[in-house]
């Protein structure tokens, strides 16, 4: 893979830097409360979109720039390096949107894509159910055909951003008699439809990022079917590959910036002489460096082959491991202060380090668990016999 930027990449890098010099939201301005934070960050996404710096690889006619994957990586890395906050529309931008851009009809693209970029529409991903997570194909939410629409009934869970979402990408069973993988369709559901109930779930971070979502006889117009009837499984795999893959190069920059900040705080708190703190910081440092090399390797492959593939499972595993080692280092640095909300009384240690530790406990679960990624690596990369 080429590691020195070409002219177009340098141009877009300078453009992002100039934009950030003027518009980067100051950290202290970003609200702590989750609802207020989401509202604030929608404004941030709109500004980035107005500068045409969101998902630059998407076609120009839908608001992207038709740029290369490498240019996208340059943009993401610059944002991560500057400590720019994550965009609230990430499920639409990184997970569902790429599937719509590649597989949607012209009408679907015209209707959804621009609003995903601008943050006007937040999306959620309704795949997991109480009894269908790793074994997603056993999902039971059903969509019955009724002329020009489907009637959707069932329950999803762990649906991130559901309470803010305008649209949900739902996997539903449309042919109960077909073998499990073949009877599933991919539906785009209007979250304001009658018959939808959203119950937010509070995570141990204190944020209610995900929800349970109940569908009771929800009418979904047939034009909201993405891809073919009963062809949803293939599209779901496309969506999950997006969730596991292309973010890794910018994510490792984000982790590196966080680790540098953590080391600075450890020095400020007088914690750097503690051998346990040193060992923990060193483990995180090595994991992030290894992730950087892995990210370049798999992105090199994605660029050569025109898209991410099964090796994103290796990225996902290494990313989750680096996330959690950084979280462990946060805990080591905070020491006994970790148990106070907002740090010890009078201590200015940012609450962010506690949040980092708590949030990244989920890194080996979301987007497919670590055990499932290991199964994929064993079977599809190493060619070992299938797990029974």
Ligand X SMILES: Cc1cc2nc3c(=O)[nH]c(=O)nc-3n(C[C@H](O)[C@H](O)[C@H](O)COP(=O)(O)OP(=O)(O)OC[C@H]3O[C@@H](n4cnc5c(N)ncnc54)[C@H](O)[C@@H]3O)c2cc1C
- The Cα–Cα gap between 274 and 280 comes to 10
Q: Which residues are catalytic?
A: 243
Choose which of 5, 25, 83, 133 interacts with ligand X (CB under 6 A): 133
- Report the nearest approach of ligand X to the CB of residue 365 (Å): 4
Is the separation of the CB atoms in 160 and 209 below 8 Å?
yes
Question: Is 324 a residue that touches ligand X (CB under 6 A)?
Answer: no
- Report the nearest approach of ligand X to the CB of residue 215 (Å): 14
Q: What are phi and psi of 100, to 5 degrees?
A: -65, -45
- Report the nearest approach of ligand X to the CB of residue 4 (Å): 37
- The Cα–Cα gap between 269 and 278 comes to 13
Q: What are phi and psi of 219, to 5 degrees?
A: -85, 125
Part in contact with ligand X (CB under 6 A); list of ranges 27-35, 52-60, 153-161, 273-281: 153-161
Question: Is 138 a residue that touches ligand X (CB under 6 A)?
Answer: no
Part in contact with ligand X (CB under 6 A); list of ranges 119-127, 266-274, 308-316, 323-331: 119-127
- Report the nearest approach of ligand X to the CB of residue 371 (Å): 3
Signed CA dihedral, 336, 339, 340, 342: sign only: positive
Within 13 Å of residue 106, how many CA atoms lie on the same side as its CB? 1
Choose which of 76, 125, 141, 280 interacts with ligand X (CB under 6 A): 125
Kindly identify the residues of this chain, within the stretch 338-377, that bind ligand X according to CB under 6 A.
Answer: 362, 365-366, 368-369, 371-372, 375
- The Cα–Cα gap between 321 and 294 comes to 13
Give the burial class of 241: count Cβ atoms within 10 A of its Cβ; 0-12 exposed, 13-18 middle, 19 or more buried: buried
Is the separation of the CB atoms in 271 and 316 below 8 Å?
no
Choose which of 159, 163, 298, 313 interacts with ligand X (CB under 6 A): 159
Q: Indicate the residue whose CB is closest to ligand X.
A: 133
Choose which of 44, 58, 127, 360 interacts with ligand X (CB under 6 A): 127
Question: Is 242 a residue that touches ligand X (CB under 6 A)?
Answer: no
Q: Name the token pair of 286.
A: 């090595």
Binding residues vs ligand X (CB under 6 A): 124-128, 133-134, 158-160, 210, 362, 365-366, 368-369, 371-372, 375, 387
């Amino acid at each position: 893979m080429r590691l020195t930027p070409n002219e177009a990449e340098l141009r877009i890098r300078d453009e992002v830097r100039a934009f950030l010099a003027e518009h980067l939201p100051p950290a202290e301005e970003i609200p702590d409360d989750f609802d207020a934070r989401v509202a604030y960050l929608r404004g941030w996404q709109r500004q980035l979109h107005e500068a045409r710096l969101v998902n630059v690889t998407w076609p120009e006619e839908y608001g992207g720039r038709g740029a290369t994957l490498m240019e996208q990586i340059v943009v993401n890395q610059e944002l991560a390096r500057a400590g720019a906050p994550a965009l609230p529309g990430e499920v639409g931008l990184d997970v569902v949107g790429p599937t719509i851009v590649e597989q949607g009809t012209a009408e679907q693209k015209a209707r959804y894509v621009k609003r995903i970029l601008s943050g006007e529409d937040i999306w959620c991903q309704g795949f997991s159910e109480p009894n269908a997570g790793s074994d997603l194909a056993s999902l039971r939410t059903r969509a019955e055909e009724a002329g020009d629409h489907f009637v959707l009934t069932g329950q999803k869970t762990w649906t991130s951003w559901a309470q803010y979402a305008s649209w949900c990408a739902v996997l539903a069973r449309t042919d109960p008699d077909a073998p499990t993988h073949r009877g599933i369709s991919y539906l785009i559901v209007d979250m304001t439809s009658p018959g939808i109930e959203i119950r937010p779930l509070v995570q141990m971070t204190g944020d209610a990022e995900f929800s349970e979502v109940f569908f009771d006889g929800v009418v979904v117009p047939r034009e909201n079917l993405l891809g073919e009837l009963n062809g949803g499984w293939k599209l779901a795999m496309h969506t999950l590959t997006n969730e596991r893959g292309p973010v890794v190069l910018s994510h490792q920059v984000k982790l590196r910036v966080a680790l540098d900040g953590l080391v600075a705080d450890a020095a400020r708190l007088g914690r750097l002489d503690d051998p346990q703190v040193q060992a923990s910081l060193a483990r995180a440092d090595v994991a992030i460096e290894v992730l950087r090399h892995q990210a370049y390797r798999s992105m090199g492959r994605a660029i050569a082959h025109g898209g991410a593939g099964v090796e994103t499972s290796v990225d996902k595993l290494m990313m989750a491991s680096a996330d959690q080692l950084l979280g462990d280092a946060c805990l080591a640095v905070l020491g006994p202060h970790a148990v106070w909300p907002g740090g010890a009384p009078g201590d200015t240690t940012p609450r962010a380090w506690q949040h980092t530790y708590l949030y990244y406990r989920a890194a080996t679960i979301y987007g497919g668990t670590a055990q499932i990624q290991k199964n994929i690596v064993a079977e599809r990369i190493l060619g070992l016999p299938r797990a029974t």
